Structure 1
Amino acid sequence: MAESTTGSKKPKKQKRQSTFSQIKQIYKFTRADDPQLPWLLAVAIVVPTLIAVLACVLMKLHWVTWIFTIVLGVMVGALIATWILTRRADKVGFKQLEGKPGATGAILSNINRSGFSFPAEPVWIDARTKDAVWRGSGRTGVYLVGEGDYGRVMKAINREEEKIKRITRGSAVPIHKISVGDGPNQIPLTKLQRTIYRQKVKLTKYELDELNGRLHTLQMRNAAMGMPKGVDPTKMHVSRRAMRGK
């Protein structure tokens, strides 16, 4: 009986430790490159709590209401602190990915909400320079996202655009061309997701399904013609956990 009781308690203890370890690891990872993090988290928790206390004093609330109000303030502070930690951890993760071959593909592969779809494999890659172009789709249209030298990448993107126009002829599917980098006419890696999300919805779900079918056919056609597949660096898949040092 004693052994079975002990065995049933261990998983719960391990789960609590795992959750605490996860938060601790994210904090350490972010804190190493973000010295302002402890102060921001402290302010995020203390300010809502102080506001709750001040509200109780000014409104002369009953002591029971005091307790609930202060608890609410602490919970709001903890929620804000969690949001700040997540955002700062993402920022540090993006910073460490910048400049590495395949970083763009790693970010794109994590865009999976609102119907967006970005395959991990690039549709074009220069085996020598590691410049690459990824193609994705969503209800906002088709995306061609390039990584590397702006001139080389835009030439490849324009070629891919012509292919897409041939299979979508007669329709008004928007094609968004994006070059990731730090140069002129490029966007930083940190703003890639935001740039994709802010586009306006143009397609219905049915139209998106039809578009994805045509893009899949195009991809199969290119594969049959010997389209080179990506090399190891561009296959790098980085989850949000990995970006936070897990």
Structure 2
Amino acid sequence: MADKTEKTSAKKSGKKKDSTLSQIIQIYKFTVKDDPALPWFLAGALIAPILLAAILLFVFHMGIISAIMTVITGIMLGVLLATVTLTRRSDRVGYKRMESRTGATGAVLNRITRGGFNFPQDPVWIDMKTKDAVWRGSGRTGVYLVGEGDYGRVMKALDREESKIKRITRGSDIPIYKISVGHGERQIPLNQLQRTVMRKKIKLTKLELGVLNERLTTLQQKSSLGVPKGIDPSKVRINRRAMRGR
């Protein structure tokens, strides 16, 4: 019975290793297509800590045990640094590919779930001709209005949505943040959106956030401007795996 259990565990462990290696290979293939310098960055990240370990061995004339531990540490750090490098550069490529897709802003916002953030996938406003859109979300830091599209048109829509929110939060000091995503002078690039949203200071308790979310839900239900189903550009559901081509 014990032998069967050990064999089962060994098989599962082997599958996990194969799966991890397969994922790394897929991420590499996905990234290197748009990032030809990737192999050089990975090589540098992997080799640098190992070279540092070799230099330490040469300078301090370590004993056998210390030398072995230093080499192992250098190799582990190299693998870790290479993994981090691959992850960051693959994310950069993923965001670059997403920027050309309508609704990418909603997909990125929908991934922000930590810290009580809530960004529905569907926009609260959309121009069916230009595909400009506005998403509304909330968190313990306040209310967020995020626009995608032409800066001038989007800012007008953000101002209209801000007026609606102020009517249901009148008398409170709940902040309302307006963000325009794009590459203009006063816009935020897509790859900086998540960081921009999450770096604000906490203003609300969990209870206050719950009340706010109920009011925002009611506001959307009463809104006379709905988004026709089936035409919503935010239906581009993208997660980390999809960004890397998995």
TM-score if structure 1 supplies the norm length?
Answer: 0.90
- After TM superposition, list the pairs within 5 Å mapping 1:159-170 onto structure 2: 159-170=160-171
> In the alignment, is the contact (CA less than 8 A) between 2:122 and 2:232 conserved in 1?
no
Aligned length: 241
> In the alignment, is the contact (CA less than 8 A) between 2:123 and 2:227 conserved in 1?
no
> In the alignment, is the contact (CA less than 8 A) between 1:182 and 1:188 conserved in 2?
yes
Can you list the C-alpha shifts for 1:163-207, whole angstroms capped at 9, x where unaligned?
111111111111110111122322221221222122222223332
Q: Which residue of 2 aligns with 1:66?
A: 67
Q: Which residue of 2 aligns with 1:147?
A: 148
**Paired residue secondary structure (2:117):** coil
Q: Which residue of 1 aligns with 2:227?
A: 228
- After TM superposition, list the pairs within 5 Å mapping 1:96-135 onto structure 2: 96-135=97-136
Q: Which residue of 1 aligns with 2:32?
A: 31
Can you list the C-alpha shifts for 1:92-129, whole angstroms capped at 9, x where unaligned?
00111112210111111111122221110101111222
Q: Aligned equivalents of 2:85 and 2:198: distance in 1?
A: 20
**Paired residue secondary structure (1:114):** helix
Residue 43 of structure 1 and its aligned partner are, at CA, apart by 1.1
Residue 53 of structure 1 and its aligned partner are, at CA, apart by 2.3
Identity of paired residues, percent? 58
Residue 10 of structure 1 and its aligned partner are, at CA, apart by 5.4
Q: Aligned equivalents of 1:46 and 1:122: distance in 2?
A: 46
Residue 229 of structure 1 and its aligned partner are, at CA, apart by 4.1
Farther off after superposition, 63-72 or 88-97: 63-72
Q: Aligned equivalents of 1:31 and 1:168: distance in 2?
A: 48
TM-score if structure 2 supplies the norm length?
Answer: 0.90
Can you list the C-alpha shifts for 1:134-156, whole angstroms capped at 9, x where unaligned?
00112221110001122221111
Q: Which residue of 2 aligns with 1:171?
A: 172
Letter in 1 for 2:186: N
Please report the RMSD computed on the Cα atoms of aligned residues, expressed in angstroms.
2.1
